[in-house]
Structure 1
Amino acid sequence: MNFIQFETAQKLRGGFYTDADIAAFLTRWVAVVRPQRVLEPSCGDGVFLEALQNRASTRLKTIVACEINPEEAGKAKTRTGTAKVEVHVGDFLHWFLFHGGQMEAFDGALGNPPFIRYQYLPEEQQLLAEKVFKRFGLPFTKHTNAWVPFVIAALALLRPGGRLAMVVPSEIFHIPHAQSLRRFLAEQCSRIVILDPEEIWFSETLQGTVLLMAEKKYDRAERSKGVAVIPVRGRRQLEADPEAMFQGAGFTNGSIIEGKWMPVFLTREERALVSELRADEQVRLFSEQASVDVGIVTGANKFFLVPDKVVDEYGLQRWAHPMFGRSEHAQGLVYSKADHAANRRAGLPANFLWFQEERIEDLPANVRSYLDSGLAQKLHTRYKCRVREPWYKVPSVYTAPVGMLKRAHNIPRLILNSAGAYTTDTAYRIKPLRASAESLVFSFVNSLTCLTAELEGRHYGGGVLELVPSEIERLLLPVVECSAAELAAADEKYRKAENDLVFLRGQDATVLGKIGVKNAQQEVLYNAWLRLRGRRQRTAAGEESEEAD
Structure 2
Amino acid sequence: MKFKADQTSQKLRGGYYTPQNLADYVTKWVLSHNPKSILEPSCGDGVFIQALNNNDCDRNINLSCFELFDIEARKASKRCSEFNFSNFSVTEGDFLVWANDQITKQKPCFDGVLGNPPFIRYQFLEKDFQEQTELVFKQLDLKFTKHTNAWVPFLLSSLALLKSGGRMGMVIPSEISHVMHAQSLRSFIGQVCSKVVIIDPKEIWFEDTLQGAVIILAEKKLAEDQKSEGVGIVNVSGFEFLNDDPNILFKNTIGINGETIAGKWTKAILEADELSLIKDLISHKDVHQFKDIAKVDVGIVTGANKFFLVDNETIDKYDLFQYAYPMFGRSQHCPGILYNDAQHNTNQERGLPTNFLYIKDEFENLPERAKAYIELGEAEEYHKRYKCRIRKPWYKVPSVYSSEIGMLKRCHDAPRLIHNQVEAYTTDTAYRVTSTFTNTNNLVCSFLNPLTAITAELEGRFYGGGVLELVPSEIEKLYIPIIEDFEHETCEINELIKQGKIEQVMRQQGQKILTRLGFSDSDNEKLMSIWKKLRDRRLRR
Could you state the TM-score of these two structures normalised by the residue count of structure 1? Answer: 0.94
TM superposition shift of 1:104: 6.6
Q: How does 1:246-257 map to 2 (within 5 A)?
A: 246-257=250-261
Q: 1:439 aligned to 2:442?
A: yes
User: How far has the Cα of 1:78 moved from its partner?
Assistant: 2.1
1:347-390 alpha-carbon deviations (Å, 9 max, x no partner) = 11111111112x32222222222222222222222221122222
Does residue 1:371 correspond to 2:398, yes or no? no
Structure 2 residue 146 is matched with structure 1 residue 142:
yes
1:411-457 Cα deviation digits (max 9, x unpaired): 11000000110000000000110111010001000000000000111
Query: Match for 2:46: what amino acid?
Result: G
Residue 522 of structure 1 corresponds to 524
What whole-Å deviation, never above 9, does each CA across 1:284-304 have from its counterpart, x for those lacking one?
Answer: 111111100000001111111
1:392 partner amino acid:
Y
1:194-232 deviation digits (Å, cap 9, x = unpaired): 111111112444132110010111111111111111111
> Aligned equivalents of 2:125 and 2:277: distance in 1?
43
Check if 1:400 corresponds to 2:430: no
Q: 1:534 aligns to what?
A: 536
Deviations 1:472-491 (A, max 9, x none): 11111012346898322321
Which residue of the other structure, out of 107, 111, 117, is the alignment partner of 1:113?
117
Indicate the SS of the match to 1:442. helix
Secondary structure of the residue aligned to 1:179 is helix
Superposed counterparts of 1:206-217, under 5 Å:
206-217=210-221
Q: Mapping of 1:377-456 within 5 angstroms?
A: 377-456=380-459
Give runs of aligned pairs for residues 1-400 of structure 1, distance below 5 A.
1-58=1-58, 60-81=60-81, 82-99=85-102, 105-357=109-361, 359-400=362-403
Does structure 2 retain, via aligned residues, the 8 Å contact 1:35–1:60? no
C-alpha displacement of 1:466: 0.5
User: d(CA) in 1 for partners of 2:181 and 2:489?
Assistant: 41
Percent of pairs with identical residues = 48
Residues 1:104 and 1:182: Cα distance change in structure 2 (over 3 Å): closer
Structure 1 equivalent of residue 491 of structure 2: 488
* Counterpart selection for 1:500 from 492, 498, 502: 502
Report the AA paired with residue 173 of structure 2.
Answer: P
Counterpart contact for 1:160–1:218, Cα < 8 Å? yes
Matching residue's letter, 1:449: T
Contact 1:189 1:214 in 2 (8 A): yes
In 1: Cα distance, 2:416 partner to 2:284 partner: 22
CA contact (8 A) 1:405 1:426 kept: yes
CA distance in 2: counterparts of 1:144 and 1:533, whole angstroms? 25
Q: Give the unaligned 5+ runs of structure 1.
A: 540-549
In structure 2, list runs of 5 or more residues that go unmatched.
Answer: none
2:26 aligned partner, one-letter code: L
The one-letter amino acid paired with 1:479 is I
Distance 1:466-1:207 versus aligned 2 partners, 3 A rule: same
State how far apart, in whole Å, the 2-side matches of 1:203 and 1:285 are. Answer: 40
Report the counterpart of residue 457 of structure 1 in structure 2.
Answer: 460
Q: In the alignment, what sits opposite 1:544?
A: none
* CA distances 1:62-107 after superposition (whole Å, capped 9, x unpaired): 2111111112112222233255331111111112113565687111
**What letter corresponds to residue 282 of structure 1 in structure 2?**
D
Are the aligned partners of 1:438 and 1:484 in contact in 2 as well (CA < 8 Å)? no
Give the Cα–Cα distance (whole angstroms) in 1 for the partners of residues 91 and 314 of structure 2.
56
Structure 1 stretch displaced more, 194-203 or 152-161: 194-203
1:378-411 CA distances to partner (integer Å, 9 max, x unpaired)? 2222221122222111110000000000011001
CA distance in 1 between counterparts of 2:298 and 2:112 reads: 45
User: Is contact 1:296–1:425 with CA below 8 Å preserved after alignment?
Assistant: yes
Q: How many pairs were matched up?
A: 537
Pick which of 220-229 and 250-259 moved more.
Answer: 250-259
CA distance in 2 between partners of 1:329 and 1:482 (Å): 29
Match of 1:542 in 2: none
TM-score, normalised on structure 2?
Answer: 0.96
Q: CA–CA distance in 2 between the matches of 1:380 and 1:325? A: 22
